[in-house]
Amino acid sequence: MVKQKTTTIQPLILQYLLRFRFLTSIKIQKLLQLNSLHSTNYYLIKLIRQQLIGSLYSRTKEQSFQPAIYYLKSASIKQLNITDKKIIKRIYKEKSKSKTFIDHSILIADYYIFLNNDSIKTKQTLNFFTKSDLLPHNYLIHPLPDAYFSRVDKKENIKRYFLEIIDENSPRFSIRKRIDQYNNYIENKTFEKSTGYKFPTILFICPNQTINNYLKKYFEKIWDESNFDEISIHSATKEDAFNGSWHNLKPEE
């Protein structure tokens, strides 16, 4: 029974690690919808023994209880038939990624899991694309968004979104730069010309209320001289985002 499942579950784990880059066993269990963490760990151990994935453990006593974090190793390149040079290069460097980057990646997976569960409850169809999925699409804003997703309701109404996650240690100038990049992207209408779709709603997930307030004030400052009045743009703290509580960044008239 276990051997039969292995042929389908192990490739799925590799695909999820390709898409999200870093995942804990708990996240992998949720993504695979497996009944127990024990069975999830069984597949992870097999992949580690095959040198297809690696694991990171906290070395500090205070964080020793934290679960291991898994990532792709170079042997997975052949297993997954990866030919994109950018992805190949990054897989060789995964082990050296910072904690900030790893936490960022796991948060994207967390939000996908939340959206997927919510879409099932509300009877919507979710299509979710990570940076890895978006690499072939040259018409998208660069650097790429953390995710692009759409939700389709029972009446076939479609809503599209770009997801941007701001890290706690992000300097203010980098936040302003990213907003300016979106402003130029909106002005060029590259997305609409390439897809025929309306420009997606932009969602900013902020690490805290301080950054959330900063975004609000910055958009108030630049609004009249920008192109953001043409689109919908919202922000939320991590806690509010997972409650579906978003703040409209359009200044009040």
Shared-domain flag, residues 79 and 114: no
Residues 59-96: tens digit of each pLDDT: 544 555 678 999 999 999 999 999 999 999 999 999 99
The full 3-state SS of the chain, as one line of letters, equals: CHHHHHHHHHHHHHHHHHHHCCEEHHHHHHHHCCCCHHHHHHHHHHHHHCCCEEEECCCCCCCCCCCCEEEECCHHHHHCCCCCHHHHHHHHHHHHCCHHHHHHHHHHHHHHHHHHHHHHHCCCEEEEEEHHHHCCCCCCCCCCCCEEEEEECCCCCEEEEEEEECCCCCCHHHHHHHHHHHHHHHHHCHHHHHHCCCCCEEEEEECCHHHHHHHHHHHHHHHHHCCHHHCCEEEEEHHHHCCCCCEECCCCC
Domain-ending residue, one of 95, 113, 129: 95
Domain-ending residue, one of 95, 112, 142: 95
Number of folded domains that form the chain? 2
Whether residue 227 lies inside any domain: the answer is: yes
Shared-domain flag, residues 68 and 112: no
Whether residue 253 lies inside any domain: the answer is: no
Residues 11-69: tens digit of each pLDDT: 999 999 999 999 999 999 999 998 889 999 999 999 999 999 999 976 544 555 678 99
Shared-domain flag, residues 120 and 228: yes
Residues 178-196: tens digit of each pLDDT: 999 999 999 999 999 999 9
Task: For residue 35, give its domain range.
Answer: 2-95
Instruction: Read off the pTM.
Output: 0.92
